[in-house]
Amino acid sequence: MSETHTLDPRRPSSASRPLRVVAIVGSTRPGRYGPTIADWFTGVARTRDDMEFEVIDLAETMPPPDAAARPSAAESVQAFAEATGKLARADAFVVVTPEYNHSFPGGLKEFIDAHRTQWAAKPVAFVSYGGMSGGLRAVEHLRQVFAELHATSVRNVVSVHNPWTTFDAACPDARAAAHRMLDQLGWWGGALRDARAVRPYEAV
């Protein structure tokens, strides 16, 4: 049974086309914790009937500079093209990011910078993880980057502190935080999708 969460009673009914949301797994390091966080989050998100989710894992799209780990050139081109298509079709985004040296991973920055029009006039939400800060410093840097790309970042964040020792996928507080964030993402996603349909946005 789907869980029902509303930010505003005037939100469009589930009969409307669900928002297309792309979740981006931002870490590519060997031994990364990102897939664990992303799997938990998308599992929560897919209980909703107002959104449909696709995932872009940057370890598959932009792997680390390790010759042994790199796919062939043809595979890389295909994976990047598929990721670009997902971004273009999306109505909204969720970035799952760790915090590296008080900021976000270089591979994630490279991926974001490799696209421009795909982000414009769309909302972005964040799921962060790290030490005592829970990855929040990475999120604050990402907000600045996405603002420059004409994207709107939502207020609420899902922040996981010291997940290696404390993360509990069944924690009701974490699930509630995820749904509150998704409520905000849904409001912005629907509003901006409707606005783009009436008046296409030009990023200048």
The second-level CATH assignment, the architecture, of 19-27+34-62+74-197 is 3-Layer(aba) Sandwich (3.40)
pLDDT at position 12: 45
pLDDT at position 203: 76
Distance of CA 56 to the CA centre of its chain: 9
DSSP letter at 149? T
Q: Say if residue 28's pLDDT is above 50.
A: yes
Q: Which range is least confidently modeled, 10-24, 41-55, 190-204?
A: 10-24
Burial of 88 (0-12, 13-18, 19+ CB in 10 A): exposed
User: Sheet harboring 152-161: ordered strands across?
Assistant: 51-57, 19-25, 92-98, 123-130, 152-161
pLDDT one-digit tens code per residue, 91-118: 999 999 999 999 999 999 999 999 999 9
Average pLDDT value for residue range 120-135: 96
pLDDT at position 10: 44
Q: Say if residue 6's pLDDT is above 60.
A: no
Cα separation, 37 vs 160, whole angstroms: 9
Q: Say if residue 15's pLDDT is above 60.
A: no
Q: Tell me how far CA of residue 203 lies from CA of 54, 98, 122, 150, in angstroms.
A: 25, 29, 12, 7
**DSSP code string of 71-100:** --HHHHHHHHHHHHHHHHH-SEEEEEEE-B
Q: What is the largest CA-CA distance in the chain?
A: 52
Percent of the chain topping pLDDT 90: 75
How is the chain split into domains, by residue range?
19-27+34-62+74-197
pLDDT at position 2: 46
pLDDT at position 122: 98
pLDDT one-digit tens code per residue, 32-44: 999 999 999 999 9
Q: Say if residue 63's pLDDT is above 70.
A: no
pLDDT at position 170: 82
* Greater model confidence, 167 or 52: 52
Q: Say if residue 129's pLDDT is above 70.
A: yes
Q: Which residues contact 176 (CB under 8 A, 6 or more apart)?
A: none
pLDDT at position 166: 85
On the CB side of 124, how many CA atoms lie within 13 Å of its CA?
26
pLDDT at position 1: 44
pLDDT at position 68: 58
